Every structure is written in structure tokens, then in C-alpha cells.
């Protein structure tokens, strides 16, 4: 008795084959060998599921389309990678908690390690697994790529070749496959007359307070766990003041990086970056970025506060009409400074051209006379002046470029107040200013048609 021919369906990628077996009458029975031969006639020679064919034959799985052969997909190997055993994404902004208070304790600008700590493990690349289709056509896999060993300083590689261990304590950073551990100056107590001032090439952590009249300077970051009194704090890459500032009109805080503090009272604060705090009381504040006072208090009372990009707070001013000035955008002195630099550049470039023309004429004249001129004092004086002017022009162009970046960053500057702005507060946006006469609620100030526009939830109200 001849057996009917099963139907074989093959997917377009030639990776799967399905078989539909016709029903048999009487005592006829399919065999695995027969079903395999049918697959062979359809050029299916690899990936055959013999257990499935046996199940079809033994259990009479007729008139059903069943997957009976499957090729192997290519599995590319994974690239090697480093597992870092320290925090690489630091929490540089305070967290607003459920009760509205701001958590400044968990802000971290630096990650510390101790000598002997394991700091990284390398996971080698894996080999790929080749694939094949139903006809046995091989599909080559790609092996993973290995990474170069970590470069840097302050660590060693263990005998296993994949584990990295710190050989010194300090600040740890990793960027572009370069890992560095650098010294950190830690002061376990207060900075006062007993300890002396701090001036360190790196990062500074003070676990106590900074007393009145003291100075803390760092080329990296400065972190102070307790209160800063009327002291001088300079951290070029950033400052965290977990205990706040009680300045008594004598505190000065300076940075090019972000500044975070629990509060500022009677302080002079400047940074080219952003400022995060819970309140300002009678302070002079300048931010080259944004100022955020979005905690439970979020209050500015008294003083002058300026940010290039934006200010967000809960309240400005108070019921007794504290003299408070809040501004965003470009200060008039920036525009004036840019104008002064432009005028100066024009004059200096004219002078430079005259010097260059004079040099060329002098050298040409000396050549015609056949006289040496390289070391001639008259030529040397001109060359010296050319070098001076060239350096001066380059410096002024760099300064102008920096000021232009400030102007660009100030585009769209705004002041946003979630709760109240009290009468007596002065609001400035670029060159425009207004004096608040009536209590304002949930308001945003920004430039509108050349003047200051006041908006409530995006709708202009003035």
C-alpha cells in the first residue's frame, strides 16, 4: 500500500519547515524514515525534529500543520564589558521628599574608595555561535570584541587579569575607559583656628563646620557636612553645604560648578552653573545657570538674586515688604562689557595690522640693503609688540565668546513662583523691571513683546 505524500511548507528565510500529514485508512502507518525522506525531497536536511516526526507517526497527528524542522539562528558573541563596583551615576541634585522637605544629605559629587577595595571586574567577550538553514547552509556568527584594559592611576590588576583593586584611597572616577583615583583631603572635625585654613589641589570633605573667618579652597569640589559661618568657600568644580550657611553678612561662596545648600543666610554666592537650595535670606546670589528653590520653604526674602536662565521658587518676599530683587536674563553690564570688548578689539586689530605692515616693510628694506635684521633691536621691539597684541586679542575674543554664551543661555529666561510674590518685590527680566504692588499667586514672569509678561498657568494676566 502506497502512502500519501505529506505537504511540506517552508518559510521564506528557509529556517522553518512545517508538515501536514494526510489521514490514513485502515492499518496503514507512517514511519519516521518515510517522513524524513519526504523532507529530503523538499531539500530539508538539517534541523529535523525526529522526536516530532515520531510523535506524528505514533499518535496519528493527521491533517495538522506541525513544525518539523528548524534551522539554528546565528548568535553573535557579546562584547567584553566592565562591571564597576562603585557608584558611577552620582546624585548631584537634592531629592524632594514626600513631606516637601529637601534631602541634602544624600547629594554626592564624588565617590570615595579605600585602598584594597575591589573596584572593577572585566567580563570577557564571548564567542559567537554559527547558525544554519534547513539545507545545511552555514551562517557565520560574529565574535564579541574585547575591550582594552583600563588605563589610569591609583589601582592594580590582580593575577586573574580581570579584577581591579585600589592601591590608594581617594576620589574615584571613570570616563572613556580611563579610571582614576585621586587624593581627597578629609577634615574629620571643624575648620577653625585650631585646624587652620584649607587650600587643596583636589577635592575637600569637611565632616564638621567651617567657623567664622576661615577659608576653604579646592581645585575640585568642596563638601561640608555641618554649618558654614561667615567663611570663604571656593570649590571650582562644585560645592555641597549640607548644613547650610549662617553668613552674618560675611560668607562668600564661589564656584564654577553647581552649588547645593540646605539654606543661605546673609551670604554672597556666585557660580557659573546652577544653584539648589531651600531658602535665601538677605543674600547676594548670582547663577550662570538656573536657581531652584523648590522644597517645602523654597523662599527668597531680601537681598538680590540673579540667574541667567531661570529662577523657580515657592515664595518671594514677605508680608512686611522686605527689600527683595529677583532677576533673570542678561545683566546690563554684560551687554556693556561686550560693547567695550568689540570696540577694543577693533582698535587692537588695527594696531596689529600696522605692526605687521611695519615688520614687513622693515624686513624688505633690510633685505634690499643686504643687511642682517633678525636680531635687530628695532625688529625685535615690533615682534614683541605683535606677540603682546596677538595674545591680548585672543584673550578678549575668548572673553567675548563666553559673554555671548551667557546671552544665548538667557534666551527665554523666566521666574516661576508656585505660591506667593509679596508687594515690594522687584522683578527684572533682562533690562525690564516691575515693582510688585499686589500679592500675586502662582505666577510666571518672562519677556513678552519687549516687556515683562505675567502669566498664570500659561495665560498672560497683564
Give the pLDDT of residue 324.
95
- Give which of 184, 188, 187, 207 is closest to 197, Cα–Cα: 187
Give the pLDDT of residue 459.
58
- pLDDT tens column, 159-215: 999 999 999 999 999 988 899 999 899 999 999 998 899 999 989 999 999 999 999
Separation of alpha carbons 213 and 85, rounded Å = 40
* Cβ(277)–Cβ(260) below 8 Å: yes
Residues of the chain with pLDDT under 70: 1, 92, 95, 100, 102-106, 457-462
Terminal Cα distance for the chain, rounded: 97
- DSSP for 135-163? T--EEPPPPPPPPPPPEEESEEE-TTSSE
CB atoms under 10 Å from CB of 221, counted, come to 23
Give the pLDDT of residue 122.
97
Give the pLDDT of residue 315.
95
Question: Across the chain, how many H-helices and E-strands are there?
Answer: 4, 37
Sheet containing 65-70: order of strands: 7-10, 16-20, 65-70
- pLDDT tens column, 112-154: 999 999 999 999 999 999 999 999 899 899 999 999 999 999 9
Alpha carbon of residue 387 to chain centroid: 38
Separation of alpha carbons 72 and 139, rounded Å = 9
Give the pLDDT of residue 51.
95
Q: How far is CA 338 from CA 227, 310, 398, 414, in A?
A: 39, 22, 11, 23
Amino acid at each position: 500500500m502506497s502512502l500519501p505524500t505529506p505537504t511540506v511548507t517552508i518559510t521564506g528565510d528557509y529556517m522553518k519547515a512545517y508538515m501536514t500529514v494526510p489521514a490514513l485508512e485502515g492499518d496503514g502507518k507512517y514511519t519516521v524514515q518515510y517522513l524524513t525522506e519526504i523532507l529530503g525531497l523538499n531539500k530539508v536536511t538539517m534541523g529535523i525534529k525526529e522526536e516530532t516526526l515520531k510523535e506524528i507517526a505514533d499518535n496519528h497527528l493527521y491533517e495538522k500543520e506541525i513544525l518539523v524542522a528548524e534551522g539554528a539562528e546565528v548568535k553573535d558573541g557579546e562584547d567584553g564589558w566592565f562591571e564597576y563596583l562603585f557608584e558611577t551615576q552620582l546624585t548631584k541634585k537634592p531629592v524632594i521628599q514626600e513631606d516637601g522637605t529637601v534631602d541634602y544629605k544624600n547629594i554626592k559629587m564624588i565617590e570615595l574608595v579605600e585602598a584594597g577595595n575591589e573596584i572593577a571586574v572585566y567580563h570577557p567577550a564571548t564567542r559567537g555561535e554559527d547558525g544554519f538553514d534547513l539545507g545545511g547552509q552555514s551562517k557565520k556568527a560574529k565574535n564579541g570584541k574585547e575591550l582594552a584594559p583600563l588605563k589610569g592611576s591609583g589601582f592594580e590588576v590582580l593575577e586573574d587579569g580581570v579584577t581591579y583593586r585600589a592601591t590608594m584611597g581617594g576620589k574615584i572616577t571613570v570616563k572613556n575607559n580611563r579610571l582614576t583615583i585621586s587624593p581627597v583631603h578629609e577634615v574629620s572635625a571643624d575648620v577653625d583656628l585650631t585646624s587652620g585654613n584649607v587650600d587643596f589641589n583636589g577635592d575637600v570633605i569637611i565632616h564638621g563646620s567651617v567657623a567664622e573667618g576661615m577659608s576653604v579652597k579646592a581645585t575640585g569640589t568642596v563638601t561640608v557636612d555641618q554649618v558654614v559661618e561667615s567663611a570663604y568657600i571656593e570649590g571650582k568644580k562644585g560645592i555641597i553645604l549640607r548644613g547650610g550657611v549662617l553668613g552674618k553678612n560675611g560668607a562668600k561662596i564661589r564656584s564654577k560648578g553647581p552649588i547645593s545648600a540646605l539654606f543661605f543666610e546673609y551670604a554672597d554666592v556666585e557660580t557659573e552653573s546652577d544653584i539648589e537650595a531651600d531658602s535665601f535670606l538677605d543674600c547676594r546670589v548670582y547663577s550662570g545657570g538656573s536657581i531652584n528653590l523648590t522644597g517645602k520653604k523654597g523662599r527668597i526674602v531680601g537681598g538680590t538674586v540673579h540667574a541667567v536662565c531661570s529662577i523657580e521658587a515657592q515664595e518671594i518676599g514677605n508680608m512686611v515688604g522686605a527689600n527683595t530683587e529677583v532677576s533673570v536674563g542678561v545683566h546690563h553690564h554684560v551687554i556693556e562689557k561686550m560693547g567695550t570688548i568689540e570696540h577694543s578689539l577693533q582698535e587692537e586689530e588695527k594696531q596689529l595690522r600696522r605692526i605687521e605692515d611695519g615688520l614687513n616693510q622693515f624686513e624688505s628694506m633690510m633685505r634690499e640693503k643686504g643687511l642682517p635684521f633678525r636680531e635687530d633691536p628695532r625688529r625685535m621691539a615690533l615682534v614683541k609688540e605683535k606677540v603682546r597684541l596677538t595674545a591680548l586679542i585672543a584673550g578678549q575674543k575668548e572673553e567675548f565668546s563666553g559673554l555671548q554664551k551667557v546671552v544665548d543661555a538667557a534666551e527665554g529666561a523666566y521666574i516661576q513662583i508656585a505660591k506667593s510674590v509679596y508687594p515690594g518685590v522687584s522683578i527684572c527680566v533682562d533690562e525690564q523691571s516691575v515693582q510688585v504692588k499686589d500679592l500675586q499667586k502662582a505666577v510666571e514672569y518672562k519677556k513678552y513683546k519687549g516687556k515683562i509678561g505675567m502669566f498664570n498657568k500659561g495665560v498672560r494676566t497683564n
